[in-house]
Amino acid sequence: MNPVDHPDNFLAPAVWGNPHPYFARLRSTQPVSWNSWWNGWVLTRYDDVDFILKRSEKVSAATVAPAMARATPEQLERRATTFRMLGSFLPLNDPPDHTRLRRLVNKAFTPATVARLQPGIERRAKELLDAVEGRDQFEVISDFSHPLTLSVISEMLGIPDEDRTEVGTWGAQIVPLVLEGRDNSGRREVAERVLQEMEQYFRKLLQVRRRGPRNDLVSALAQAEDAGGLLTEDEIVSTCILLIFAGQETTTGLIANAVLALDEHPDQRERLVQQPELMPGAVEELLRYCGTAFAVTRMAKEPFRLREQEIAAGDKILLVLAAANRDPERFPDPDRLDISRNATGHLAFAGGVHYCLGGPLARVEARIGLNQLLARYPHLSPAPQRLTWSDVIIAREPASLVVDLSGAGRGVA
Amino acid sequence: MSGAWAEVDHELCMGTAMCRSVAPQAFSLGDDGKSSYVSSAGASLDALRDAEENCPVQAITVHEDEQG
C-alpha cells in the first residue's frame, strides 16, 4: 500500500478533517484527475459523477471478481468467506445479477412501505431520548442514532430482541474493509472472522424462519429462495448481511453529521426548531451538504474519454459524491447549508441502478430522529472535544459526537 | 393491452431502471440516463402499477384513463 504521507492521500488527517477545500480545488482545476495514492481516477464535478453513475454499460461496480483474480491461492482460502459474501453484495454487482437480487428486496424499502414503519421509529426515538433525560451530555451515535437505526433494520429483518446487541457490533467491524479503509493492520482478518459469524447467524435464522415464517424480511427471503431457484442461498445470506450493515452504518452517521452542520448554521437550526414541518426539505439539504456516503468506486469496462482524459479499461474510478453535491454549477453557494434550497437531484444516495435501496428509509429515520432531538433539546450543541473522522474513503462521519444538552457547549476542535 | 399509461417525472428520476426491470416494454432509458414512458403495448396495468410501486424516488404516476 502507498505511504500515508503521499501528497494524494486525502485521508491524511490534515485533509480529511475538512476535505471540501481539497476537492473544491480538484473540481475547478482537474475535475478528472489521476490519484496515484489511490491508484485511480478521481471525479469531482456533478455532471461527470452523475453521468458515470448512470452508465452501467461503461463502468462496473463488481470489484470482487477482479480482486479474486489478483489473489494468491493462499489468500483465496484465507479470505474465502469475504469473497463469497461480498461477491453477492448488491452494491458490488452489475446487471443482470444486480437486477435479479434487487427486485427481491426493493419493495421492502419503497417510500410507501417505509411510511408504515413511521410510528415504530417515532416510538423508538422517544424511548432513546427518554433514557438520557436529565443528563447534561450524551453521545449522539451510541446513545441515539445507532440504537435507533439498529432497532429499525432489526425489526424489518426480524432479528430477535435478544440478539440485537451482538448483531449491532458486527457492522463497525467490517467497515474498514467494506468501505475502503487504508489502515491495513488486520482489517481483512477481522472482516473475514466477523463475516463468518454473520453468515452462520443468518443461515440459522433463515432456517428458523423457513420452518415458521413471520411477517419479516428474512422470512420473505427464505420463501423467495424456496419458491423459484432464482437465488442461491449464498446470495440470500449475503443480502441479509448487506441490509443489516447498510441499515445501520449510513443513517447513524447522517444524524451525527447533521447535528454538526446545524451547529455551524445556527440560523438554519433555529428555523427548524420553530418550523419542524420544514424537516423533509431540510433532510434533503443535509444529505447534499453532509450525507454519510462520501464516494463510490467503479471500474471502467471499456476505454473512454472524459474531459480530455483517456480512461483505460480496468481503471478504477472514484466518484466523489460529496464533491459533486457541492458543485457550484449545480448548487449555487454550495458550502452554505440552506434548508429552503431545492436540493433535489443531490447524489448523496448515488444514482443509476445502484441508487441507494434504503434511501426512503434513511429519509424517514433522519426526519424523525432530528425532529425529536431538536424538539426535546433546542439548545443542544457539541461539547468541547476533538472529533475523529471515520478513516475510510466511502463514508465520512465522526467516530463519536458528545453533545451538551443545555447549550453551554460549542467546542468542536 | 390496457388503457392505462404512465408518466415519469424527470426532476425526480435518478435512473435506477427499476421500472425497466419490471416493465421493460413500457419504459426506456434516454441518453441522460433517465427513464421515459414509451408505450403500454405489451405491459399490463399490473406491470405499470408494479413499476410505480417499485420506483425508489416515486417518479412514476400511472393513469388509468385512455390517453397518453
State the ipTM, two decimals: 0.86
| Full-model pTM | 0.94
CB A250, CB A361: distance < 8 Å:
no
Convert the pLDDT of each residue in A166-176 to its tens digit: 999 999 999 99
What pLDDT was estimated at residue A223? 87
Measure CB to CB from residue A106 to each of B11, B33, B54 and give the nearest one. Answer: B54
Distance from CA of A358 to the nearest CA of B (A): 9
Q: Do A112 and B56 touch (CB under 8 A)?
A: no
What pLDDT was estimated at residue B21? 86
Q: Do B16 and A53 touch (CB under 8 A)?
A: no
* A139 vs A413, more confident: A139
The mean pLDDT value for A68-85 works out to 95
Distance from CA of B68 to the nearest CA of A (A): 25
User: Which of A353, A356, A364 to mutate to test binding with chain B, by most B CBs within 10 Å of its CB?
Assistant: A353
Contacts of B34 in chain A (CB under 8 A): 54
What distance in Å separates the CA atoms of residue A412 and residue A381, rounded to the nearest whole number?
A: 9
The mean pLDDT value for A147-169 works out to 96
Residue A119 has pLDDT above 70, yes or no: yes
Joined grid coordinates for residue B67: 390517453
What pLDDT was estimated at residue B6? 94
Least confident segment among A44-48, A228-232, A250-254? A228-232
Distance from CA of A244 to the nearest CA of B (A): 19
Q: Do B33 and A352 touch (CB under 8 A)?
A: yes
At A32, give phi and psi (nearest 5°).
Answer: -120, 95
Q: How far is CA A272 from the centre of its chain?
A: 24
CB A224, CB A230: distance < 8 Å:
yes
For the CA atoms of A85, A91, A92, A94, the dihedral, rounded to the nearest 10 degrees, stands at 120
What distance in Å separates the CA atoms of residue A224 and residue B5, rounded to the nearest whole number?
A: 30
CB A337, CB A319: distance < 8 Å:
no
Band of pLDDT at residue A3, cut at 50, 70 and 90: low
Band of pLDDT at residue A2, cut at 50, 70 and 90: low
What pLDDT was estimated at residue A413? 46
Q: Do A351 and B55 touch (CB under 8 A)?
A: no
Other Cβ atoms less than 10 A from the Cβ of A299: the count is: 17
Q: Do A353 and B16 touch (CB under 8 A)?
A: yes
Nearest chain A residue to B21, by CA: A99
Q: Do B53 and A349 touch (CB under 8 A)?
A: no
Q: How far is CA B58 from the centre of its chain?
A: 11
Q: Do B53 and A355 touch (CB under 8 A)?
A: no
Convert the pLDDT of each residue in A267-288 to its tens digit: 999 999 999 999 999 999 999 9
What pLDDT was estimated at residue B68? 47
What pLDDT was estimated at residue A356? 95
Joined grid coordinates for residue B4: 392505462
Q: Residue B62: beta bridge partners?
A: B6
Q: Do A355 and B32 touch (CB under 8 A)?
A: no
The mean pLDDT value for A364-373 works out to 98
Joined grid coordinates for residue A135: 443528563
Distance from CA of A20 to the nearest CA of B (A): 24
What distance in Å separates the CA atoms of residue A27 and residue A24, rounded to the nearest whole number?
A: 5
Contacts of A111 in chain B (CB under 8 A): 56, 58
The mean pLDDT value for A300-305 works out to 96
CB B33, CB B16: distance < 8 Å:
no
Interface of B with A (CB under 8 A): 11-12, 14-18, 21-22, 29, 32-34, 53-58
What pLDDT was estimated at residue A408? 54
Per-residue confidence in pLDDT tens, chain B, 68 aa: 457 899 999 989 999 988 988 898 899 999 888 999 998 777 888 899 999 998 988 999 999 876 54
Which H or E run contains A157?
helix A146-157
What distance in Å separates the CA atoms of residue B25 and residue B41, rounded to the nearest whole number?
A: 7
Residue A367 has pLDDT above 60, yes or no: yes
Percent of chain A whose pLDDT exceeds 70:
96
User: Which of A58, A94, A107, A355 to mutate to test binding with chain B, by most B CBs within 10 Å of its CB?
Assistant: A355
| CA distances in angstroms from A350 to A141, A266, A379, A394, B29, listed in the order given | 24, 28, 33, 12, 17
Residue A184 has pLDDT above 70, yes or no: no
CB A52, CB A43: distance < 8 Å:
yes
Q: Which of A64-68, A196-200, B7-11 has the highest mean pLDDT?
A: A196-200
Q: Do A107 and B54 touch (CB under 8 A)?
A: yes
The conformational region for residue A354 under phi > 0 = left, psi -120 to 50 = alpha, else beta, is alpha
